[in-house]
Chains A and B, each alone.
Chain A
């Protein structure tokens, strides 16, 4: 593919982004994030027998649980029909008759939706962060910013998967089915499968192989990325503690997430013919 015109990508991205602003999608998701973040920050330690503002590490650990369920779902819902809806409606032909390549349409859609996710994530958790700042102080904000950024990366991983689904699926119904199945698999089933493997193998399983399996799930990468830094948090989680320190390098984990953003988009580009 020669001669990518970034202007054309920008036109498509701008339209997608404005659509999400206009139909108040960004506002709704940002509000959901703010409310949940504050509720969890306050009530998150209820299991330990207390409510109230805790230290930032525990707050983030609680938020990670929320984000792992919510963010992939939101990203999948946002992107699952990006291409298939236009194909089904018939507007894709007109769009592609313009001086724009399929690659530019795809990347434009992804970028615009990513922008909407960025605004919702940063806006929603940012607002909560401001309130936490008054309760917990400035030092906490650094960790919190890292958490928000990794939550955004997680959303991009699942947006990328969603856009791939929107290219591969024959119609919107199937696309939504596949998107929900992906969410179930990565968010609910995957870790259970790994645990099951561990139990069935009765410890004979080679644990060196285990971190690689965790890397195959962007939700697990996100979890490891966020909780590994905090000693007192690691205790709360079981699975991620089997992760070797050497592999817990934030840059390595970040790169794995970037791979999860690029790879599905690559498949989408290849199949979008």
Chain B
């Protein structure tokens, strides 16, 4: 792995009797695109807020770039961090450009960079409009522009695609890919698992304040040993022969609809199933193999006892 940019050691956050974050150890490498997933209340946002120094940890230490997340020295680290909060609230009475100017001053960033940043997130035409009149998606874009002020080397994005339309989501991930090419480290959360599964380098799955699983998407899938889903297209009238072939392999639970069969099989049986289907000749016209989705993986881990 590349250099550690974020290092979290044994971090806990206790609210009364409840452990919102319960002993998290985690490192994120420089340049990594890291996803934090988990259902509501799993502790993602609490962990985020502790990483930003907004909330003191009850126990443990967090280091960013080798610097502990507290005290006066952390101010300098903050200049290199961009943050997009989950429930983003901006100042309604300011225009988009004034909003960026305000945060640019606080970050010590040249204000002349603001118009270009607004254009980058697609808000050039709304620069002088009051935020009060912005749509949810426009606010989110402005929030993202704010996070990008001063070319941060680390971005914390909490549910960054909240309120964005499909085009906005595509634009967002395109920008994220560009940033990553520039070496920016990104930690993001999302509850739309399908959205992030193809895009992050590694994932941590949080549950009840703990990290339940950690690794690449592939490693998480394999850790669960979840079945693959296959879609097989067949010639009209050949449904029985398809059922016969699959039945010989012990696969009997098959959904069929209009010339297509859908079933699951263990990962280890994949090659045997493909070989048998190929051997069935012209009856089979198409085969699609689907890896388990992040949703499946997520649900699989959720069923395990923590």
Contact = CB atoms under 8 A, between A and B. Distances in A.
Given A89-B89, A91-B91, A11 B83 contact: no
Interface stretch (B34-42, B99-107, B112-120, B174-182): B99-107
B93 A99 contact: no
Interface residues of A, number: 23
Interface residues of B, number: 26
Interface in B63-101: 72, 75-76, 78-79, 81, 83, 85, 87-91, 93
Nearest to A86: B89
Contacts of A11: 102, 105-106
Contact of B83 (A12, A97, A101): A97
Contacts of B91: 15, 19, 91
Contacts of B52: 97
Contacts of A94: 83, 85, 88-90, 143, 146
Contacts of B83: 94, 97
Given A11-B105, A11-B106, A97 B88 contact: no
A40 to B, nearest CB: 34
Nearest to B71: A2
A11 B89 CA distance: 19
A101 B75 contact: yes
Interface in A40-81: none
B72 A2 contact: yes
A3 interface: yes
B300 interface: no
Interface in A75-114: 89-91, 93-101
Given A2-B72, A99-B107, A19 B54 contact: no
A99 B85 contact: no
Interface in A16-37: 19, 22-23
A179 B133 CA distance: 31
Interface of A: 1-3, 5, 8, 11-12, 15, 19, 22-23, 89-91, 93-101
Interface of B: 49, 52-54, 72, 75-76, 78-79, 81, 83, 85, 87-91, 93, 102-103, 105-108, 143, 146
Given A90-B85, A90-B89, A99-B106, 20 more contacts: A5-B75, A19-B93, A90-B87, A93-B49, A94-B83, A94-B85, A94-B88, A94-B89, A94-B143, A95-B106, A97-B52, A97-B54, A97-B81, A98-B78, A98-B103, A98-B107, A99-B75, A99-B78, A99-B108, A100-B106
